A and B are shown apart, each in its own frame.
Chain A
């Protein structure tokens, strides 16, 4: 075990959990590739990436929030609202839809940051409130129905087209994840995010700008939810005021599976991506399983299976982490 840890330069218990998610992901891909004929087909891979990019984006924002020891429940509502805003603005210019949607999400995120840092409201409550408000706003703006996007301005390219043979949403997610990795690992603010999650009072005593950092993290999470909303609208050709329900839970699950502690202070961008892909992969595999025609799982059963799978992964991780913790101790 120790030689193994050294080989992979695994220093902390968190690293062990992160290794776990990558192994689980590799295992699932192998399982799918062996069992289903078209699993590794270009069509499946590309549509998998196209569809799941928006969830990955939301998971990244959530990962930063959770690393500070907080939570952002508003991301689903924010994405729904942003999708409506983007759809409404899309006739003017594709960029109006893109940046309008992001700005809408950023505004919600900034409001979260303000309530959490200045008003000192618990993140759970603050973002629960903005979640409700965001859904309400989405429905108000959309007039209680989905809003068709403009097909003339090029807005739909964001979610539907490819660039260099690769879906544009996947490119966006890839770039954003690279930026996220850079911020977390190579910029002071990323280290401060982790230090704040380790203990807010301590971080303040060490002279870190706690409020500013927290506000930035919530704003970032909102902006990423906004971006996900833009992709949603563009991909499905309509702003969807009733979409996004449960997205926050999917994002939280991805982050947790990625080995980020809900108590904050630890986390990895790469493992968050792996976590998001892992959960999406379970869904993908269940679809294939239905396609085989031997069994037919209803959406309800799929939910149950995903939940069970999540539970198994989390339990395995807890065991890996406690082992890592006991061996890492000097």
Chain B
């Protein structure tokens, strides 16, 4: 065993986060660490790396009892962590980021040539040829991740911890990452892979450790752990997550079309997109990263200008110049990146939810607090938002509940068309199902929903019809009855070859 953690307990302000958790990783083993949000995965990792101190328990690494006081100490011993939000210094060059804190030196000064050559050499082992003098901010998420891994490799890491490494990668980039993991494994390095996407876990991991409520509830070889059992361990209950809640598009064929996009195009990212959203329908929009999904949403919403084709909303041709015009027309957009575009972390649930509504709530410039309270209370109840009070800062909520507040923000403006971009990103499985059910209920009440998603299970479960984009072009429209993983894959692979 390279690493064995046993009986780890940790409380924050008297609230237990870990209750006798354990984790064992062998040499050159790729270990999946799974669990719902709040199961204690990241707390366990932070205790291992020395970012937190444990209350109880033992940690042995490479045959010795260890207790790290800060990340620098665990790094020095060969534990490297690649965090979800890829921790690199964005304005520093690739080479510097790989060598920060261990710069090669010559006569006491940084040996820039050795640094550059070393960086090029280590990146080449991962088949990556880039200008290592460029700031890392200039590169894509996948490349930044490779840089972070290269950093780990040059640190002579024996254990690399990856926290949701695929969350911002497209399929092709995931394949590159997995090849990198296999390279690490061949070099005798062990990997702890924290992830939500089951298919990926089965593709790359040797074993799995499942956590729930601060405890390790199951471990075993990945091949001997059926998907259903894994999910059951995670949720601690029968799988209710991905019950099919979609309806056959034919059922709604008589319903009026709320939005139709015909041969729309703008710039190079959106070439020729056609799609329809009917009243009371969840229309899915699928495609690999970079296929133009988000850009299409921005066109509809007026964040970008339409250059070619036509967008018809409620039967009338529309070309919004600003999102404000789309909003006034009853269109809402829940954007992909909650943390950047959506929530204002330090503000309360009340304020976050009524942000878009404030102009309407104000009477002669002063917010009508009574109406605000009433609306907020109604949506907290209707969406099942778990919180201590409407005054709780939104940053204290889980990802799923934050997403519900954002949904609430648009719902209280009474939209007729809601575009949701990756509505369940970074949310645990239980909350995902809840969000999907919520969207279905809203559709049943007459809302038209356009759901952009990279998660096939999600589209399969919830979408009444899926439009597939490839390279900025809509290449297929799959009605419910033709919808299957194979069909989606086939459509997405179109033109990618």
Contacts and interface: CB of A to CB of B under 8 A. Distances in A.
Interface of A: 11-12, 14, 182, 186-188, 191-192, 194-195, 198-199, 201-209, 265-266, 328-330
A12 B101 contact: no
**Residues of A contacting B: mostly:** helix
A329 B138 CA distance: 6
A62 to B, nearest CB: 19
Contacts of A188: 101, 103, 105, 110
Interface string B99-121: 01101010011100000000000
B96 A205 contact: no
Contacts of B89: 194-195, 198-199, 202-203, 206, 265
Contact of A209 (B72, B92, B105): B72
Nearest to A12: B135
Contacts of B135: 11-12
A265 B92 CA distance: 8
A59 B72 CA distance: 32
Interface of B: 51, 70-72, 75-76, 81, 83, 87-92, 96, 100-101, 103, 105, 108-110, 133-135, 138-139, 151
Contacts of A14: 91
B138 A328 contact: yes
Contacts of B110: 186-188, 191
B87 A205 contact: yes
A264 to B, nearest CB: 9
B79 to A, nearest CB: 11
B101 A206 contact: yes
A201 B89 CA distance: 10
B91 A198 contact: yes
B83 A191 contact: no
Contacts of A195: 89, 92, 96, 100
A330 B100 contact: no
24 contacts: A11-B134, A11-B135, A186-B110, A187-B108, A187-B110, A188-B103, A188-B110, A191-B96, A191-B103, A192-B101, A195-B89, A198-B91, A199-B90, A202-B88, A202-B89, A205-B71, A205-B81, A205-B83, A206-B88, A206-B89, A207-B76, A208-B100, A330-B138, A330-B139
Contacts of B70: 204
Contact of B100 (A12, A192, A265, A329): A192
A129 to B, nearest CB: 25
Contacts of B87: 199, 201-202, 205-206
B108 to A, nearest CB: 8
A305 to B, nearest CB: 34
A207 B109 contact: no
Contacts of A182: 109
A191 B91 CA distance: 11
A258 to B, nearest CB: 16
A198 B71 contact: no
A195 B96 CA distance: 9
